[in-house]
Amino acid sequence: MKLKYSIVLLFLLQGTVWADDSKIERVEPPFWWTGMSNPQLQLLVYGKDISVTVPELNHPGIVITGVSKVTNPNYLFVELEISKDIPPCEFEIFFKKGKSVYTSFKYELRGRKQGSSSRKSFNKSDAVYLLMPDRFSNGDTSNDNIPEMLEQCDRSDPDGRHGGDIAGIINHLNYIRDLGFTAIWSNPLVENNNPFYSYHGYAITDFYRIDPRFGTNDDYTRLVNESHKRGLKVIMDMVFNHCSIHHWLMQNLPGTDWINNNDEFYRSNFRASTITDPYASVYDRDKMLTGWFDTHMADLDQRNEFLARYLIQNTIWWIEFSGIDGIRIDTQPYSYRNFMTEWSNAIFTEYPKFNVVGETWLQQEAMTAYFQKDALNKDGYNSGIPSVTDFPMYYALNKAFNEKDGWTEGLLSLYYVLAQDFLYAHPDNNLIFCDNHDLDRYFPKVNSNIKKWKMGMGFLLTTRGIPCIYYGTELLMTGEEKKGHGSIRKDFPGGWPGDSVNAFTSAGRNKAQNEAFNYLKTLLKWRLNNKLIQYGKLKQFIPENEIYVYFRYTDDECVMVALNNSNNEMKALKPERFDECMKNYKYARNVVTGEVINYLTVLTLPPKSILILELKK
């Protein structure tokens, strides 16, 4: 697994950097902006023996404040300070050997877009559509096979590339909007030039380049702009814990201290509990933090300050370049804690209203809450990451409707997840979901029972948090993780030219799929711009007799949600117990059917059902 120092020929020089010859192969970030809050900029300069040179520049408002060499002589880290008020410009940096100029390059500082720093982000008013770009839609067949990329398209291989791309997403933005979603989270779109299993996006080979099989950097910006035109926000998926062994930096390491366990393959134990466990052994915690995620994913050591800056600047570069509305961070607990705090501080210094959700794949509430911003952690740790993925709620949602209610089972499992919200600093900002690209599809998890599926969707869209729904859920898509990731990441029918079925249209969906689609659409459309369900308070009553009732409310409005978890019993619900929420209301409207219920004295609930009522005075 030893990654060697060696120069490889690179395909092309990225971005707006003009070297006077080929002595400089890369400068990253490829360009930057004037008027950033942080005036400092670290340039990674890569070229044969560049470290023997001394950089100089002469431009008003820009000074070199530091030059650092690392073990590999082909790297130089140049620290710039950029005065806040200078206009957009190009300037030249000269790399000198003695009195003669060895090489030089021109660097560009662009102007920021109006309102860039004050941009708003995603929050609990949103409903997020998660899609896997290789598997959603192929809008441009001309990019399916690109000769210089190591893996070509093979739609017959569940682990191969299928040809989905940014053009395909743009083609179906109206579909996503019309379903009632307000945000898109796409799995990573940056380059993954790996010889096999490269489609998923989590083994990055270039942090600054959209994979050409998905499109170009400008296509990504177009996706953001086209989404914004339709009122959709875009959440970018970022990976800091690891990158591909085929990344050019890994092929030519600046120093061995950029990655952990370079000598032989050492797999992580995937036990994020070791980070919060006060009794954790050093052995276990080190294995968690320094072990590799997979054989082709080198574990990045963000304790290296140059690497940390490199990753932080890459994040800011994408926010500023593309205009995205938010970020999802892969494998948050696997990165060094202090790095995540440093990263989030830097992001929120530039974009104070931004939101970020960290993937915190943990089984228990307390450990999940630890990784959210402002958690009252005994050790004083504050990640600065405002949102976390609510895996405890996911686990509860995947068993609640299959189990018979007990003291902690069935509906009680949902109740107990929420009863522990005192642990979270910002529970309303948790991302909530029934499944995702790593997990069994929800429909088979509830035994392909559409009644249970509706209970899950209804709960997800009415409880606290930011609901996130995985593409294909609206089609009752099936798939199990144990059958391979291809099983849970199937192609969206109709996303490819010549597909025999087009499920983007009602005619292409079967009866059950249309029932599911319409159910989801009705709830999402109702949730859209509904301040009560987005921002209202939550009150829950302990599930009794297989019935769980909760309310979303303000002083003037109230929504009642009731779930019946019985397999065969119709239940009659007497409102007396819920008087503190219901006493001011005389009648109700069923949100799904539109039916008006004139009397609230007795409510009936069919077996395995969810009732969502807007209470009226």
Q: Work out whether strand 466-470 and strand 431-432 pair parallel, antiparallel, or are unpaired.
A: parallel
Would you give the binding string for Ca ion spanning residues 85-124, x where CB under 5 A is met?
----------------------------------------
Residue 163 vs 392, nearer CB to Ca ion: 163
Catalytic residue among 206, 359, 390, 440: 359
Report, in Å, the least distance between residue 212 CB and Ca ion: 10
Enumerate residues 6+ apart whose C-beta is below 8 A from 293: 241, 242, 267, 268, 299, 331, 334
Please identify, among the stretches 163-171, 190-198, 541-549, 573-581, the one whose residues bind Ca ion according to the rule CB under 5 A: 163-171
Residues forming a β-bridge with 43: 78
Q: Give the x/- contact pattern for Ca ion in 182-211, rule: CB under 5 A.
A: ------------------------------
> What sign does the CA torsion over 435, 439, 442, 446 have?
negative
Which of the residues 28, 237, 330, 435 is marked catalytic?
Answer: 330
Query: What separation in angstroms does the CA of 181 have from each of 105, 308, 412, 445, 456?
Result: 45, 34, 29, 23, 17
3-state SS, residue 414: helix
- The full DSSP string for 48-78 is TTGGGSEEEE-BTTEEEEEEEE-SSTTEEEE
Considering beta carbons, is residue 134 or 435 the nearer one to Ca ion?
134
Q: How far is the CB of 320 from Ca ion (least distance, A)?
A: 27
By C-beta, is 14 or 143 nearer to Ca ion? 143
Closest CA to 465 of 441, 489, 431: 431
Cα–Cα distance for residue pair 144/500, rounded to 1 Å = 20
Residue 179 beta carbon to Ca ion: minimum distance, rounded to whole angstroms: 23
**Closest approach of Ca ion to the CB of residue 231, in Å:** 26
User: Binding to Ca ion by residue 163, rule CB under 5 A?
Assistant: yes
User: Segment near Ca ion (CB under 5 A), from 119-127, 144-152, 276-284, 557-565?
Assistant: 144-152
**Is 390 one of the binding residues for Ca ion (CB under 5 A)?**
no
Closer residue to Ca ion, CB minimum distance, 163 or 444: 163
Which lies closer to Ca ion via its Cβ, residue 131 or residue 347?
131
CB 424 within 8 A of CB 375: yes
CA–CA gap between residue 213 and residue 200 (Å, rounded): 12
215 lies in the site for Ca ion, by CB under 5 A: no
- Residues near 225 by beta carbon (within 8 Å), at least 6 away in sequence: 323
Q: How far apart are CA 77 and CA 259, in angstroms?
A: 18
Work out whether strand 387-388 and strand 355-358 pair parallel, antiparallel, or are unpaired. parallel
CB of 142 to Ca ion, least distance (A): 7
The least distance separating Ca ion from the CB of residue 161, rounded to whole angstroms, comes to: 9
Judged by CB under 5 A, does residue 143 bind Ca ion? Answer: yes
Residue in the structure block whose two tokens are 């007497």:
574
Dihedral over alpha carbons 146, 220, 192, 133 (to 10 degrees): -90
* Residue linked to tokens 């000598």: 263
Binding range to Ca ion, per CB under 5 A, among 164-172, 347-355, 456-464, 469-477: 164-172
Is residue 46 within a helix (H) or strand (E), and if so which, with residue range? strand 40-46
Is the CB of 358 or the CB of 493 nearer to Ca ion?
A: 493
* Identified binder of Ca ion from the candidate list 28, 134, 165, 491, rule CB under 5 A: 165
Specify the stretch interacting with Ca ion by CB under 5 A; choose among 156-164, 333-341, 382-390, 583-591: 156-164
Q: Which is nearer to Ca ion, 104 or 143 (CB)?
A: 143
Q: Is 481 an annotated catalytic residue?
A: no
To the nearest whole angstrom, how small is the minimum distance from the Cβ of residue 358 to Ca ion? 30
- Binding-residue total with Ca ion (CB under 5 A): 6
108 is catalytic: no
User: Does position 219 bind Ca ion by CB under 5 A?
Assistant: no
Name residue 356's amino acid: V
* Rounded Cα distance, 408 and 252, in Å: 53
Q: Find the shortest distance in angstroms from Cβ 230 to Ca ion.
A: 22
How far apart CA 347 and CA 119 sit, in angstroms, is 12
Q: Quickly tell me which residue has 């600093």 as its tokens.
A: 425
The least CB distance from residue 145 to Ca ion, in Å, is 9
Measured CA distances, 200 to 145, 163, 190, 339, 488 (Å): 16, 12, 10, 25, 12
For the bound state, the minimum distance from the C-beta of residue 491 to Ca ion, rounded and expressed in Å, comes to 12
Cβ nearer to Ca ion, comparing 140 with 405: 140
Which two structure tokens, joined as six digits, stand for 357? 């959700």
Is 564 within 8 Å of 571 (Cβ atoms)?
yes
Alpha-helical (H) ranges within 78-213 are 133-136, 166-171, 173-179
Question: Using N-to-C axis directions, what is the helix angle for 450-460 and 511-527, rounded to 10°?
Answer: 10
Interface region with Ca ion, contact rule CB under 5 A, candidates 165-173, 469-477, 539-547, 575-583: 165-173
144 binds Ca ion (CB under 5 A): yes
Binders in 418-477 for Ca ion, by CB under 5 A: none
Give 74 or 138: the residue with its C-beta nearer to Ca ion. Answer: 138
Tokens at 46, concatenated: 């890569």
Q: Which stretch binds Ca ion (CB under 5 A): 84-92, 162-170, 258-266, 404-412?
A: 162-170
Which one of residues 138, 193, 261, 565 is an interface residue with Ca ion (CB under 5 A)? 138
Stretch touching Ca ion by CB under 5 A, among 123-131, 136-144, 579-587, 596-604: 136-144
Q: Where on the chain is the footprint of Ca ion (CB under 5 A)?
A: 138, 140, 143-144, 163, 165
Active site residues: 330, 359
